[in-house]
Each structure stands twice: as C-alpha cells, then as structure tokens.
C-alpha cells in the first residue's frame, strides 16, 4: 500500500517519465475523494452479491471515540458472497451514536443494516451471530445489545470477542505478577527514548545498519493497545538487542553527551544485558 501523502511525489515522478497526467485532480484531497467513491462502490457490489446468494451474515460491533471525541460504533459483517467459498469480513460502516445506552447501540446497528438492504426479513433468515466486547452495554443479561438481538432473532449465537477476552486475561495475569511492572517501566523508557528524539532514532537506525539488522518500531507495551501491539514491540527489542546495546555503548562514550545522559544509557545497557532481571 502507498500512503496518500505520497501522491504528489508520484505525480512528479510520472511527469519526469513523460506521462501526460492532465491538469486536474492532483491534490491529495482529490485522491481521498476518488478512493472514497471507489470504496463505496466496491462495498455496495459486495453487499449486493451477499443478498443475491442469500448469504449468511454475522455482526461484529465495537464502540470507539472519534477524533472529535464523539461516541461512534464500528460495524463489521462476516458474510457469504458465495456458497462455495469461505465467508469474508467486511467493514460496513462507522456510525455516530447519540449516546452510549444499549438501546441506542441496538437501534443504530439495525438502522445501519437496513440502510444497506438487510431488513428484518433478511436478518430472520440469515443472521447467524452477534459478536462484541464484554461491556455490560453489549452483553448485559437483561437489556444489553446482545439480549435485544437474541429476543428479536432467537436462533443467533452470541459471542464474546476473543480478542477482548484475551486482553482481560492478560490484564488479570499482569496484575498478579509484580515483576511485570519493572519490565513495563523499562520498555516505556525505550519507547520514550526513541519516540521523542529523532537524533536517537537515527543513531539507532545507523547501529542497526552497521550490524545488518532490521530494526522495527518500538512502541508501548501493556497499554490501551491490543496484545499484538505489545508483542510487536517486545519482538522489536528481542531481535534488535544487538543494535540497542551498540547504541547504548556508543552513547556512553559520546563526548557530546552530558554526564546525566551517559548515566541514563549506562543504566539502560546494564538492564538490557542483565541476566537476572
């Protein structure tokens, strides 16, 4: 995939190649509008195919917050586009919620489905399951969203999302193991060291190139992100161990570094190479 910000550079490249690219629709805003139009058409074609084959569907929803701090609902469908092939997962829509009550989430989901042609009759015949996180709004026994779907469509399967369940399990395990706190503090120090300083990031990249190591991005661990994000960060540190140690060693001996900085890098190196912690 190519980042949308690369559009201008690619257009300039095509000019250098002698391609006639015309005079309009060159801005990244135009590119966004074109992509948005194409994606909507593709989605409608896929949904029409689902309805043509009377494909079974499963609803997957999750609450989130938009950049404008508004409550929104992310709606996915797992759907059949052919009786001979495995179902596909399709992003359906991002719906703004009037509030976070179960009734609003339920009504907003049904309204969205109906807008795409999945009315009550279709859902009664083809809705297979409902999946969400374990919040009481979603899975509350008496008036949660899942309960409302089960009342309307008694044959569906209600499923607590495994990703969310894994997050809860990891959270419980972390709270029971005191040593994890020291590990998290160390990883957060690495994240702060390289995310806040382009110089440090560049120096680490140079150390990795000297050792012929692919250095991946170091993020946060055990934060609000998914467990997979923590795994990527731990893997980056694990496979980039030599590059990190090399960078710390160079920083300790760098005459341009202050004594405070040298002490910090010395502590990080000792912690990184310690066999007991």
Burial class of 232 by CB neighbour count within 10 A (0 to 12, 13 to 18, 19+): middle
For the chain, the DSSP string reads: ---GGGHHHHHHHHHHTT----SSS-SHHHHHHHHHHHHHHHHHHHHHHHHHTT--EEEEEEEEE-TTS-EEEEEEEEE-S-TTS--EEEEEEEEE-S-S-HHHHHHHHHHHHHHTT--HHHHHHHEEEEEE-S-HHHH-TTTSHHHHHHHHSTTPEEEE-HHHHHHHHHHHHHHH-THHHHHHHHHHHHHHHHHS-HHHHHHHHHHHHHTT--------SSSSS-HHHHHHHHHHHHHTHHHHHHHHHHHHT-TTS-HHHHHHHHHHHHHHH-S--
- Quick one: pLDDT at residue 190? 94
Burial class of 135 by CB neighbour count within 10 A (0 to 12, 13 to 18, 19+): middle
- Quick one: pLDDT at residue 43? 92
- Quick one: pLDDT at residue 62? 94
199-to-110, 189, 193 alpha-carbon distances in Å = 51, 16, 10
Taking each helix axis from N to C terminus, what angle separates 198-210 and 179-195, rounded to the nearest 10 degrees? 100
- Quick one: pLDDT at residue 224? 66
- Quick one: pLDDT at residue 166? 87
Strands 127-132 and 157-160, sheet pairing: parallel
- Quick one: pLDDT at residue 21? 81
The first and second tokens of residue 264, run together, are 């910090």
- Quick one: pLDDT at residue 86? 92
Tens of pLDDT along the chain (277 residues)?
667 777 778 888 888 888 888 877 777 788 888 888 999 999 999 999 999 999 999 999 999 988 888 899 999 999 999 989 899 999 999 999 999 999 999 999 999 999 999 999 999 999 999 999 999 999 999 999 999 999 999 999 999 998 888 888 888 888 888 788 888 899 999 999 999 899 999 999 999 999 999 999 998 888 766 788 888 999 999 999 999 999 999 999 999 999 999 999 999 999 999 876 5
Q: Kindly report the pTM of this predicted structure.
A: 0.71
The first and second tokens of residue 225, run together, are 């992100």
């Amino acid at each position: 995939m190519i980042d949308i910000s690369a559009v201008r550079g690619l257009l300039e490249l095509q000019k250098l190649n002698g391609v006639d690219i015309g005079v309009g629709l060159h801005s990244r805003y135009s590119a966004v509008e074109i992509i948005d139009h194409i994606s909507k058409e593709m989605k409608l074609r896929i949904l029409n195919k689902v309805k043509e084959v009377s494909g079974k569907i499963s609803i997957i929803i999750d609450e989130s917050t938009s950049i404008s701090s508004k409550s929104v609902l992310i709606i996915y469908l797992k759907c059949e586009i052919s009786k001979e092939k495995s179902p596909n997962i399709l992003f359906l829509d991002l719906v703004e919620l009037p509030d976070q009550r179960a009734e609003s989430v339920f009504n907003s989901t049904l309204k969205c489905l109906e807008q795409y042609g999945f009315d009550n009759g279709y859902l009664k015949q083809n809705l297979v399951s409902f999946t969400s996180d374990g919040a009481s709004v979603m899975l509350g026994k008496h008036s949660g969203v899942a309960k409302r779907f089960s009342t309307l469509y008694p044959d569906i399967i209600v499923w607590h999302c495994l990703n969310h369940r894994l997050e809860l399990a990891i959270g419980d395990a972390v709270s029971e193991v005191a040593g994890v706190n020291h590990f998290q503090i160390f990883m957060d120090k690495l994240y702060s060291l390289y995310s806040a300083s382009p110089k440090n990031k560049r120096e680490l990249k140079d150390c990795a190139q000297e050792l012929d190591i692919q250095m991946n991005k170091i993020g946060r661990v055990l934060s609000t992100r998914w467990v997979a994000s923590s795994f990527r960060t731990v893997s980056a540190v694990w496979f980039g161990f030599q590059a990190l140690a090399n960078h710390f060693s160079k920083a300790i001996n760098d005459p341009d570094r202050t004594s405070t900085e040298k002490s910090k890098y010395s502590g990080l190196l000792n912690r990184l190479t310690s066999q007991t912690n």
